């Protein structure tokens, strides 16, 4: 069978990325231009600034990717593009670039949902075995998805308010850690003790998540302690917070894995790099005797390799976009 | 020599193909929120209708602003990817200069003020003479400040705009004169496709706030 090369483009937030993936599983080249240092000074991603940087980076990133792969556009079978969800101005740059390449080279265009991309980041590490459960945890998403086969998504639960990564960044800000604070909280939690009491959010039998109450609880706790003149033990607060987040994520996953027997739990998204959550899920999967699959850390955050991988399976299923494809800030998993 | 022109800096798609001072085809269509969906399909349609392959184009002229931020990014992305991957020469032209060069030839005036509404009493504007020479550099400026610029004293002035802006001067609507705009770009330099950027004329609010707080 002929090898299929998909060129993926991702620009949904503050990373401009292009990748080439062979047969959905073999990463040939990935280029990621991150704007994280630019947005740090604003305490978070500023959408208009992100869009302005994407447009400067987009052609360089695509060209570099083709160079690294020693390929030209003529070697590419189809172009996969993140069309949503994400920041609309950022998404648009990638979508227009992908559509232009499709127009210039008469190559098929494959629209890819950003979350589907995160799930398929695992395919670059090991083939997915169905049925499986996928937990997506990132700065913009927290979802539990059951998959019977490729591109069959059943959303069991999602966050009712803040995404888990968003909650990490906000808590980090409250305790004076610069953006992006998630990884730093993870490092601090490793040396802290769970001395602060925080409520377990949405501690029910549903598969849904809620993190805004937990964020408020941390803010209130910091205020109260400050008013009382008690200095915050940052490492201990980080540990207490991370333990609560981990426990609720593990609890919801445990429930889902009990109700939907699967052989594999996939964890994807930027927060999948969090050691506390990883360890909690590792223990859960050992108990349940199922396989835990996490992408490589560098492919947990936004990248185009995952889009190209997801694009390959969409391509095999005959999913195609055309030049009228538009970016969508909100779109359901499909 | 075939030149591909593209302007998506307003709610309109304005595009065309010019060959040796002759317009092969030109499309001007109001797309508003559909600019992202339909710009490339309309370009594709224009190329097909005229039986021109993208590779037959020798040069690209893209309007890189000022105007709608999203609109500018659509055109600039298409143009820079086109130029970069098919190795075409590319240059940019300001939306205000394109407007200034499009004043109908029967108009009697000394200077023209192209204006784009930038809201809250501000415009993107500049002052050009009849030959398309920029006398006052384009800027994000209070409409009244531009109208009262000392350069305009004792001059016959007209405003060219497609926005509803009340001004003290007679106005003409903007109807692109593609050949004059292309002609005006002859002495402009080519730019590396990677270096092509949008010309917003305005910092983002976040950058302004950050700048104010450090001053």
Model confidence pLDDT, tens digit, residues A227-280: 999 999 999 999 999 999 999 999 999 999 999 999 999 999 999 999 999 999
**Distant-in-sequence, close-in-space partners of B32: CB < 8 Å, separation ≥ 6:** B11
Residues of B in contact with A97 (CB under 8 A): 77, 81
What domains appear along chain A, each with residue ranges and CATH number? 5-121+299-316 (3.30.420.40), 129-294 (3.30.420.40)
Tokens describing residue A255: 């429930």
CA A212, CA A162: separation in Å to the nearest integer? 6
ipTM of the complex: 0.97
Determine the topology of domain B103-172 in CATH.
Nucleotidyltransferase; domain 5 (3.30.420)
CA distances, A263 to each of A246, A249, A280, A288, A295 (Å):
21, 19, 17, 9, 17
Tell me the pLDDT tens digit for each residue of B69-121. 999 999 999 999 999 999 999 999 999 999 999 999 999 999 999 999 999 99
Domain ranges of chain B: 2-96+176-203, 103-172
Q: Identify the CATH homologous superfamily for domain B2-96+176-203.
A: ATPase, nucleotide binding domain (3.30.420.40)
With beta carbons less than 8 A apart as the criterion, state whether A33 and A61 touch: yes
User: C-alpha A194: how far from its chain's center?
Assistant: 27
CA A138, CA A109: separation in Å to the nearest integer? 26
Residues of A in contact with B78 (CB under 8 A): 96, 99-100
Tell me the pLDDT tens digit for each residue of A292-320. 999 999 999 999 999 999 999 999 999 99
The residue among B96, B102, B104 whose CA lies nearest residue B146 is: B96
CB distance B73–A92 less than 8 Å? yes
CA A95, CA A85: separation in Å to the nearest integer? 12
Residues of B in contact with A89 (CB under 8 A): 69-70, 73
The conformation of residue B189, written as its DSSP 8-state character, comes to P
CA B121, CA A21: separation in Å to the nearest integer? 51
* B114: number of Cβ within 10 Å: 26
Ordered strands of the B111-117 beta sheet: B134-142, B122-129, B111-117, B157-160, B171-172
Tokens describing residue B179: 């050949």
Tokens describing residue A241: 């917070």
Please list the residues that pair with A267 across neighbouring strands. Answer: A135
* A7: number of Cβ within 10 Å: 32
Tokens describing residue A218: 């941390």
């Amino acid at each position: 069978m002929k090898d299929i090369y998909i060129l993926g483009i991702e620009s949904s937030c503050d990373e401009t990325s292009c990748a080439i993936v062979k047969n959905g599983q073999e990463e040939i080249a990935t280029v990621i231009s991150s704007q994280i240092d630019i947005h740090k000074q604003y305490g978070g991603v500023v959408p208009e600034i992100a869009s302005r940087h994407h447009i400067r980076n987009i052609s360089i990133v695509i060209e570099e990717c083709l160079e690294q792969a020693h390929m030209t556009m003529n070697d590419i079978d189809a172009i996969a593009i993140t069309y949503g969800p994400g920041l609309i101005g950022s998404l648009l740059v990638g979508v227009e670039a992908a559509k232009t390449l499709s127009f210039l080279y008469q190559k098929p265009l494959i629209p890819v949902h950003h979350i589907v991309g995160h799930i398929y980041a695992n395919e670059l590490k090991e083939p997915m075995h169905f049925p499986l459960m996928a937990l997506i945890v990132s700065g913009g998403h927290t979802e539990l998805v059951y998959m019977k086969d490729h591109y069959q998504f059943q959303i069991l639960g999602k966050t009712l308010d803040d995404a888990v990564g968003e909650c990490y960044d906000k808590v980090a800000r409250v305790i004076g850690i610069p953006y992006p604070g998630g990884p730093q909280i993870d490092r601090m939690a490793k040396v802290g003790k769970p001395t602060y009491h925080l409520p377990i959010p949405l501690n029910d039998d549903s598969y849904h998540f809620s993190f805004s109450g937990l964020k408020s609880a941390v803010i209130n706790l910091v205020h109260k302690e400050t008013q009382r003149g008690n200095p915050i033990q940052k490492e201990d607060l980080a540990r207490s917070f991370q333990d609560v987040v981990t426990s609720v994520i593990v609890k919801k996953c445990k429930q889902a894995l009990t109700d939907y027997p699967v052989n594999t739990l996939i964890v994807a998204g930027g927060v999948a790099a969090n050691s506390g959550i990883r360890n909690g899920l590792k223990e859960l999967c050992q108990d349940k005797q199922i396989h835990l699959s996490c992408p490589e850390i560098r492919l947990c955050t936004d990248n185009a390799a995952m889009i190209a991988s997801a694009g390959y399976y969409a391509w095999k299923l005959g999913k195609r976009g055309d030049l009228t494809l538009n970016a969508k800030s909100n779109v359901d998993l499909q | 020599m075939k030149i591909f022109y593209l302007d998506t800096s307003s709610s309109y798609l304005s595009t065309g193909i010019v060959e040796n001072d002759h317009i092969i085809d030109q499309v001007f269509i109001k797309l508003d929120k559909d600019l992202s969906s339909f710009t490339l399909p309309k370009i594709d349609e224009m190329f097909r209708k005229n039986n021109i392959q993208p590779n037959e184009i020798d040069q690209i002229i893209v309007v890189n602003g000022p105007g709608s931020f999203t609109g500018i990014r659509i055109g600039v992305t298409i143009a820079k990817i086109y130029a970069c991957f098919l190795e075409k020469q590319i240059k940019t032209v300001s939306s205000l200069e394109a407007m200034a060069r499009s004043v109908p030839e029967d108009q009697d005036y000394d200077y023209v003020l192209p204006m784009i509404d930038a809201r809250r009493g501000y415009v993107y504007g500049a002052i050009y003479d009849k030959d398309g020479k920029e006398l006052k550099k384009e800027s994000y400026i209070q409409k009244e400040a531009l109208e009262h610029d000392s350069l305009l004293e004792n001059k016959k002035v007209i405003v060219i705009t497609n926005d509803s802006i009340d001004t003290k001067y007679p106005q003409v609507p903007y109807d692109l004169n593609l050949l004059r705009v292309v002609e005006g770009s002859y002495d402009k330099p080519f730019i590396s496709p990677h270096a092509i950027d949008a010309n917003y004329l305005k910092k983002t609010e976040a950058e302004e706030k950050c700048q104010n707080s450090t001053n």
